[in-house]
Structure formats: C-alpha cells, structure tokens
Amino acid sequence: MPQVVLYQPEIPPNTGNIARTCAATDTPLHLIEPLGFELSDRYLKRAGLDYWPYVQLTTHPDWSVFRQQQQQQGGRLIAFTTKGELNYLDCDFQATDWLLFGRETSGLPEDVLASCDHRVRIPTPQAGVRSLNLSVSVAIGLFEARRQVYFATNPA
C-alpha cells in the first residue's frame, strides 16, 4: 500500500492526526526533518491518542537522506500540491507510491517538486481558499490511493 511522507511538518496536532490515520490504515508514515516541533510534544501525542504504538514511523534527517531511501525501495513520488497539474481523482495510484505533502505554511519547495513523478492537487471550488488542512488533505489522498489500489488488486 502507499506510504505517507510529510516534508518538514510544522503543526503538532496535524501530524498527530495524520499519525492516527496512518495507524488506522496500517500505512507507514515518514517525517522529513527539520520538524516544527519535538516528537515528544504533548499536542502531537494528544492528537495521536493512544495509537502511537501502531504507527510505523520513520524520521529522516533531511530530504536527501529520505530521497535515497525512497529510491532504494522504489515506487513513484506523488506530490500533493496546490500547484498540481493533475486532479488527484485522475491520478492512477499504485501500491508502491509515496504520497508527499508539504509544510502547512509554504507547501513543497520547487526543487522537491521537480524531483517528483507527479504533482496532483485536491481542487477547492472556492477561489479564496488556498488549500485544505494538511491532515484533511492526507486523509483524502491516502483513502483515494487505497481505494484504487484495493480495487485494482480485488476486482469485483
């Protein structure tokens, strides 16, 4: 199944909520440092509730170390970004995909986006709203990827 990657997340409750989603779906979660908080942060722990033992968490000291591991394991890097040219519903997700999400305040830097296989967006019809909350975006992207992968491997 796909894996979730957070590039330099800044807000502890968002990461805690994402960790809870990853625990519930048995999805590996990767955090790329620097983080905007300590992993011992009480708000992070509170948002993740008592599910932390079920989170397959890996932290990477920087982008290059993460990228090296990702390339060794294989699979496509799919960036979720407001700059995406492809609607996430039109992306054909695969079991080996890495779903990459950027910082809450600034998204993904251009050099990181340039190294991705695809850039997808979650459209919002209200032009004045730039983006959704990070934990909501991860849930939307992850569940669509899982839906596609499940039905690809378990046809009706």
Mention every residue, 6+ apart, whose C-beta is less than 8 A from residue 32: 5, 6, 7, 8, 59, 60, 62, 63, 66
Domains of the chain and CATH, by start: 3-153 (3.40.1280.10)
Q: Alpha-carbon distance 26 to 39, whole Å?
A: 20
17's enclosing H/E stretch is helix 12-25
Per-residue pLDDT of the chain (156 residues; tens, 9 = 90+): 899 999 999 998 899 999 999 999 999 999 999 998 877 767 666 655 677 888 999 999 999 999 999 999 999 999 999 989 999 999 999 999 999 999 999 999 999 999 999 999 999 888 787 788 999 999 999 999 999 998 666 655
Specify the pTM: 0.91
Residue 122 is labelled as binding a ligand:
yes
pLDDT at 33: 96
114's enclosing H/E stretch is helix 110-114
- Give the phi and the psi of residue 36 in degrees, each rounded to 5: -85, 15
Residue 11 is labelled as binding a ligand:
no
